């Protein structure tokens, strides 16, 4: 069986795409929004899941891995070849996805590309697939708010731009590739200033790192550092990254310091047409809204990174998570063995502290991830935040941290039912960069 991949083209539809549930606005919770990484959402397919999917606005169609295919018993067949970043056509198989649910949105059916299990796993998270432009469609306005942990899709009729946002026009760049079964989606070009130099850059909301062609690193004052990582494009093809750099970036009136860059090497585009991409590392200080139909990008400064915890946890609409004794359904404590000792009894080097998370009994049967902000003691440098991963049945997790955490204050700022997998049975605690750090 050969599948037909139907893509929405700019300006060819009005209102909700075919198969969408009734409504003019749909919302969905984000997984780990304060981590400033990929936009991750919970998805159910044919009654199975929930699975964690990434949003990629460059993907022509949504993607599922073969584990989802097996669990949801999806029909598969060969489909059109897709052009990857190396400018090679890749054969691909597709699955008929039935009853796709994302937050308040239900979609009757879609054709989704199939990849191997683990293809899109990132930052210790199991990512089962990708939500592409068959869902984040041209006829809709897409937005996300990390502080509230919410993403939105809105029909064009009645849409009003955020009142406090910086409005930016982008220019579509269309592919000139020949002899392809599915055209690469247009790039969305803006002119950004990097290290005092201006470059034509694509707005890439499906990647964390920004990217710049190797030839422009010196001009943009990007000092390379060694990095070993893999970038996976929207076709499922991997590319190795060997260096990274950090630079300030300005886009009209919007500026972000310490934007993380990798090398840009998308060979589907002529080198004279664009120099790289602006990923989520640039957009981390902003709530973002995109009107594809009018080619407008709206950036509203984030107002409350660590406040508003009840509303943020409330995005899950879970009675369990919102009714616990402790915020986030876990009591968090830091024990310093030297606390209260006189100065003359202090060792030359602090032995470190113990941090523990004790789950509330009312949430014993819930998979739980708890994010904790760390405020260092006065005069000490910033510290990494903590995330406790507690699968159902894991009632307590403990870790030892260095002496730099002595005197620090801990506060729960988020909780979700999507913990990272741990290397051993029970729970575990990971360290994460705080939201205002380079990601």
Q: Please give the share of the chain, as a percent, with pLDDT higher than 70.
A: 96
Q: Where is average pLDDT lowest: 77-81, 231-235, 342-346? A: 342-346
d(CA 418, CA 429): 14
- Residues 286-341: pLDDT tens digits? 999 999 999 999 999 998 777 889 999 999 999 999 999 999 999 999 999 998 88
Residues present in the chain in total: 439
Task: Taking residues 120-140, report their average pLDDT.
Answer: 96
| Residue 186: partners with Cβ closer than 8 Å, 6 or more residues away | 10, 172, 173, 174, 175
- The mean per-residue pLDDT over the stretch 257-261 comes to 95
Q: Taking 50 as the threshold, does the pLDDT of residue 116 lie above it? A: yes
User: What is the structure's pLDDT at 437?
Assistant: 59
CB 316 within 8 A of CB 103: no
Taking the CB of residue 61, how many other CB atoms lie within 10 A of it? 26
pLDDT one-digit tens code per residue, 401-437: 999 999 999 999 999 999 999 998 899 999 999 887 5
Percent of the chain scoring above 90 in pLDDT: 87
Mean pLDDT of the chain: 93
- Prediction pTM value: 0.94
CA 209 to chain centre: 11
Q: Where are the alpha helices (DSSP H) in 1-150?
A: 66-72
In three-state secondary structure terms, 292 is: coil
Strands 276-278 and 197-203: parallel
Measured between alpha carbons, how far is 206 from 280 in angstroms, rounded to an integer? Answer: 8
Q: How far apart are the first and last CA of the chain?
A: 42
If pLDDT is split at 50, 70 and 90, which confidence band does 8 have? very low
The stretch 246-254 carries a mean pLDDT of 96
Cα separation, 156 vs 14, whole angstroms: 8
Q: What is the pLDDT of residue 1?
A: 54
Confidence of residue 238 (pLDDT cuts 50, 70, 90): very high
User: Is residue 403 within 8 Å of 357, Cβ to Cβ?
Assistant: no
Domain range annotation of the chain: 187-284, 309-432
pLDDT for residue 438: 47
Fold topology of 187-284: Cathepsin D, subunit A; domain 1 (2.40.70)
pLDDT at 110 over 80: yes
Alpha helices in 209-266, H assignment, sequence order? none
């Amino acid at each position: 069986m050969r599948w037909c991949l139907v893509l929405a083209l700019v300006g060819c539809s009005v209102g909700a795409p075919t198969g969408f549930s009734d409504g003019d606005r749909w919302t969905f919770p984000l997984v780990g929004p304060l981590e400033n990484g990929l936009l991750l959402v919970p998805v159910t397919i044919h009654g199975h899941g929930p699975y964690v999917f990434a949003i990629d606005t460059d993907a022509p169609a949504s993607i599922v891995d073969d584990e989802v295919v097996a669990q949801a018993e999806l029909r598969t067949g060969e489909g059109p070849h897709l052009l990857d970043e190396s400018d090679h056509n890749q054969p691909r198989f597709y699955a008929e996805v039935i009853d796709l649910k994302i937050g308040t949105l239900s979609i009757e059916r879609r054709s989704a590309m199939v990849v191997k299990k683990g293809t899109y796993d990132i930052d210790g998270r199991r990512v089962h697939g990708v939500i592409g432009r068959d869902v984040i469609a041209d006829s809709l306005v897409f937005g996300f708010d990390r502080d509230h942990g919410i993403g939105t899709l809105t029909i064009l009729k009645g849409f009003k731009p955020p009142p406090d946002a910086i409005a930016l026009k982008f220019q579509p760049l269309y592919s000139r590739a020949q002899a392809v079964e599915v055209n690469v989606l247009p790039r969305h070009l803006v002119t950004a200033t990097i290290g005092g130099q201006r470059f034509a850059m694509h707005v890439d909301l499906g990647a964390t790192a920004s990217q710049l062609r190797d030839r422009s690193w010196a001009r943009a004052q990007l000092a390379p550092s060694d990095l070993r990582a893999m970038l996976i494009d929207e076709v499922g093809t991997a590319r190795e990254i060997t260096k990274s750099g950090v630079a300030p970036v300005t886009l009209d009136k919007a500026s972000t310091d310490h934007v993380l860059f990798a090398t840009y090497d998308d060979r589907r585009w002529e080198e004279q047409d664009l120099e790289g991409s602006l990923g989520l590392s640039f957009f981390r200080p902003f709530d973002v809204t995109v009107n594809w139909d009018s080619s407008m990008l709206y950036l509203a400064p984030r107002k409350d990174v660590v406040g508003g915890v009840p509303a943020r946890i409330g995005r899950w609409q879970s009675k369990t998570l919102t009714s616990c004794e402790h915020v986030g359904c876990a009591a968090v404590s830091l024990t310093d063995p030297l606390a209260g000792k006189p100065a003359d009894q202090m060792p030359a080097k602090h032995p470190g502290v113990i941090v523990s998370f004790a789950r509330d009994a009312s949430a014993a049967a819930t998979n739980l991830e708890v994010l904790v902000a760390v405020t260092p003691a006065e005069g000490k440098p910033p510290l990494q935040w903590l995330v406790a991963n507690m699968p159902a049945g894991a009632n307590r997790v403990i870790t030892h941290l260095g002496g730099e955490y002595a005197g620090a204050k801990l506060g729960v700022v988020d909780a979700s039912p999507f913990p990272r997998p741990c290397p051993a049975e029970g729970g575990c605690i990971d360290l994460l960069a705080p939201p205002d750090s380079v990601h």
